[in-house]
Amino acid sequence: MATARAYTNIALIKYWGKQDPQQMLPYNSSLSLTLDQFYTETKVEFLPKQTNQTADSFVFAGVAQPVSPKITRMLNLIRQAAGWSNFARVETENHVPTSAGLASSASAFAALAAAGAQAAGLQLSPRELSIFARHGSGSACRSIFGGFVVWHAGHDDQSSYAEPLLATVDFPIVVIAVLVDQRPKKVLSSAGMQQSVATSPFYPAWVQTAESGIATMSQAIAAHDIARIGQLAEANAMQMHATTLSAVPPFTYFAPMTLKIWQLVQEFRTKGLSCYITLDAGPNPKLLCAKQDAAAVVKKLQAALPQLQCTICQPGPGVAYRD
């Protein structure tokens, strides 16, 4: 039995498109910042063979739920590595401000992989653990680590892994998660990726540009240049969204309010605030700010749009275990 906690992450250079959906290999490398405001805590227990449990079980927030194929797949990978066939009992809870609008699959599968591997007695390096987590959800591999993290696209299972770029949480950058819409996405990220890959004539250029963005972003992080990090992240996010706008038929994850917030962010910059926008496969923007500007940004944003809920996140840690 083992319990692990993993935090969500926000990609500054986005993962968008699988070159191998079976192995969860992405077309391009990505780069993220782990955040401190939203984590998943998961307990995994492999049951003795003599119990009368005849399947895996899954309890979410105290309520029994069906075991999803992705959970089964992760447990099978772990059992295979351990040479076991025992059924598992998985209990998980998300710790998230209701206003965050942050995805949970990254923290969920990072915590499941970590707790499962630990419970099975596997002695995995963090890199190996990131490979396991990747099979649950691509971005989960990055949540194994804290701070700034790179996921190398790779070309096969073992070469597609995450590693820390700058594993500090002591970095004066803040991510303001803005909640625009709590409803489930209309186009799930895996379907959206697939449509961009299959139909956008701009997709090959996206892969090249994102891949070369890793080095540029790494330099900006090494230089602690927050404005540059923000510029690069905003450009990369919009390029990702340009692969949906250029798909056939075109689609977008932007809501009208998303655009309104982007307009405000651009306006804040003209007033000297270091503030940039990024967003993933949904309408909820995340604002990247210099730590000293975060309070002013939230104040201005809520003055313009009082209904918005904002969660201020700081760099978060990697996977941790609990007794």
C-beta of 174: minimal distance to a copy of itself in Å? 21
What is the DSSP secondary structure assignment for residue 50, as one 8-state letter? T
Report the 3 state secondary structure along 244-265.
HHCCCCCCCCCCHHHHHHHHHH
For the chain, give the longest Cα–Cα distance. 67
C-beta of 124: minimal distance to a copy of itself in Å? 37
C-beta of 246: minimal distance to a copy of itself in Å? 4
Q: Which is nearer to a copy of itself, 191 or 248 (CB)?
A: 248
Sheet holding 309-313, edge to edge: 275-278, 286-290, 173-179, 309-313
Q: Which is nearer to a copy of itself, 194 or 231 (CB)?
A: 231
Residue in the structure block whose two tokens are 């104040």: 299
Which phi and psi (to 5°) does residue 7 adopt? -100, 155
Residues 166, 33: contact at Cβ < 8 Å? no
> 88-95 and 57-60 as β-strands: parallel, antiparallel, unpaired?
parallel
C-beta of 63: minimal distance to a copy of itself in Å? 34
C-beta of 234: minimal distance to a copy of itself in Å? 7
CA distance 130 to 144: 6
Q: Which is nearer to a copy of itself, 115 or 210 (CB)?
A: 210
Q: Which residues bind a copy of itself (CB under 8 A)?
A: 201-202, 204-206, 208-209, 231, 234-235, 238-239, 241-243, 245-246, 248-250, 252, 254-257, 259-260, 262-263
Q: Which is nearer to a copy of itself, 47 or 235 (CB)?
A: 235
Q: Which is nearer to a copy of itself, 41 or 234 (CB)?
A: 234
CA distance 235 to 149: 19
As a whole number of Å, the end-to-end CA separation of the chain is: 9
Q: Which is nearer to a copy of itself, 182 or 263 (CB)?
A: 263
Residues 109, 42: contact at Cβ < 8 Å? no
Residues 28, 11: contact at Cβ < 8 Å? no
C-beta of 237: minimal distance to a copy of itself in Å? 8
Q: Which of 157, 121, 161 is nearest to 141 (CA)?
A: 161
C-beta of 224: minimal distance to a copy of itself in Å? 21
Rounded to a whole number of angstroms, the CA Rg of the chain reads: 19
What is the DSSP secondary structure assignment for residue 315, as one 8-state letter? B
As given in the structure block, the two tokens for residue 30 are: 């990505």
C-beta of 238: minimal distance to a copy of itself in Å? 4
